[in-house]
Amino acid sequence: MPVRETKRERALIVGAGLAGVQTAAELRAQGWDGRVTLLGAEPHPPYDRPPLSKELLAGEPAEGAERGGAHLLDVDYAALGVELLLGRTATGLDTAGRRLDTDGGPLPYDHLVLATGAEAVRLPGTGRTPGVHVLRTLDDARALRAVLAARGSLVVIGAGWIGAEVATAAAAAGCRVTVVEAAPRPLPGALPAEVTEPMRRWYAEAGVELRLGLRVTAVGTGRVELADGTALAADAVLAGVGSRPATGWLAGSGIALGADGSVRADERLRASAPGVYAVGDCASYPSARYGVRLLIHHWDNALGGPRTVAAGIRGERAVHDPVPYFWSEQFGRYVQFLGRRGPADRLVWRGDPEAPEAEGPGWTACWLGPGGELTALLAVDRPRDLAQGRRLAERGTPLDEARVADPAVPLRAAAAPGRP
């Protein structure tokens, strides 16, 4: 009598960015032997996104897996037994039938991982306007790099993380750069005014004109109009006004989405339908650490979440609740941020952000909670503070404020008396 082959379960991962690729790699690393299929809407092999606004945009590819201008993720898909389907877009989902609809036909699944990431927010009416750019994909970066290579003039709308990084690369390339921000300070949604105030001079020192408190009223090819009546001429315009989860295709699927468009996952990154998980930029999750639901659009979150998803697919219980972490490179400075500030947290400075840079290696802003625990930290050219602060924040260790304020005292030595 012939032996019937046992059916291998199939994990279908939608999205071939870092979160999707890392989920496939984690499944194999954790010993899962089912089928793994990775679906990517872009035709390019999976690549890393942070270099798009850093080395790649500046025309300085980092060492490693760089081919054709893309920092490819270093994964041997064939060796892992991962089926890679590129240039194929998800169009719908039947959770009852466990079937994903795509523009290349339906795909069945036993386990589905939503890792579709986020998409750049475009200014109204500018979707097809020549010379108006966003920066989210490899093709976006290539188009914008052509402007930088020609040393054209650039208007950047938005002084957030992406706006600052693009302005950095454009100024270094010899472009004339103007950054326009509706808020009265840079990084308005990320940091308080007293911390961003020293950053204003970074723009001036780099030769970048920073216009704050001005709303953009119209954008066209080679032209940006402001609320004060000013019209700025430029060879190109970058809209750096944010991103949103790429989840529009899930409408009507029964998958619960938040008001922000994110897939509402639980603490184990399970979505609202059986066998469906969500990870990375498209997923929000409840954080017991901070007592709120978080939507984190950072590389570190996309790297860590797949461990939780892979464990869940394997039938194990794991919880995703990290200390958020993010880094940026701006105007020759290495900026790192971790944690989440609370409204009652105390700001403690380590070093003077207004001091001449020749006097010391950067500065750090720390936020301490009611019990003296480190809740958030911004380090500028002080990576050691970040590394040590990260461990302290994860443990919730109470700190001595006077020691925290002394930049000569290592943060790891700033624990309150009697505390490890």
Domain end residue (candidates: 241, 270, 285): 241
State the residue range of the domain holding 192.
132-241
For residue 322, tell me if it sits in a domain.
no
Asked if 270 and 276 count as a contact pair (C-beta separation under 8 A), the reply is: yes
Please indicate, yes or no, whether residues 250 and 107 belong to a single structural domain of this protein.
yes
What pLDDT is recorded for position 65?
A: 41
Please indicate, yes or no, whether residues 219 and 286 belong to a single structural domain of this protein.
no
Supply 303's token pair.
């790297």
Please indicate, yes or no, whether residues 156 and 228 belong to a single structural domain of this protein.
yes
177 DSSP β-pair partners: 154
What pLDDT is recorded for position 356?
A: 74
For residue 318, tell me if it sits in a domain.
no
3 state SS of 396: coil
For residue 372, tell me if it sits in a domain.
yes
- Could you read off the pLDDT of 56-76 as tens digits, one per residue? 666 654 434 444 445 889 999
Please indicate, yes or no, whether residues 198 and 273 belong to a single structural domain of this protein.
no
For residue 418, tell me if it sits in a domain.
no
pLDDT greater than 90 at residue 380: yes
The residue whose two tokens read 């938040």 is 258
Closest CA to 116 of 20, 252, 251: 20
Helix (H) or strand (E) holding 243: strand 243-245
Supply 373's token pair.
């625990």
Q: If you average pLDDT over residues 351-372, what whole number do you get?
A: 87
Q: Hey, how many other C-beta atoms are within 10 angstroms of the C-beta on 145?
A: 19
Domain end residue (candidates: 286, 313, 340): 313
Number of structural domains the chain divides into: 3
| Cα–Cα distance for residue pair 42/400, rounded to 1 Å | 50
pLDDT greater than 90 at residue 302: yes
Letter for the amino acid at 241? V
Strand order in the sheet with 363-368: 325-330, 333-339, 374-380, 363-368, 346-350
- Could you read off the pLDDT of 5-32 as tens digits, one per residue? 457 899 999 999 999 999 999 999 999 9
Please indicate, yes or no, whether residues 253 and 169 belong to a single structural domain of this protein.
no
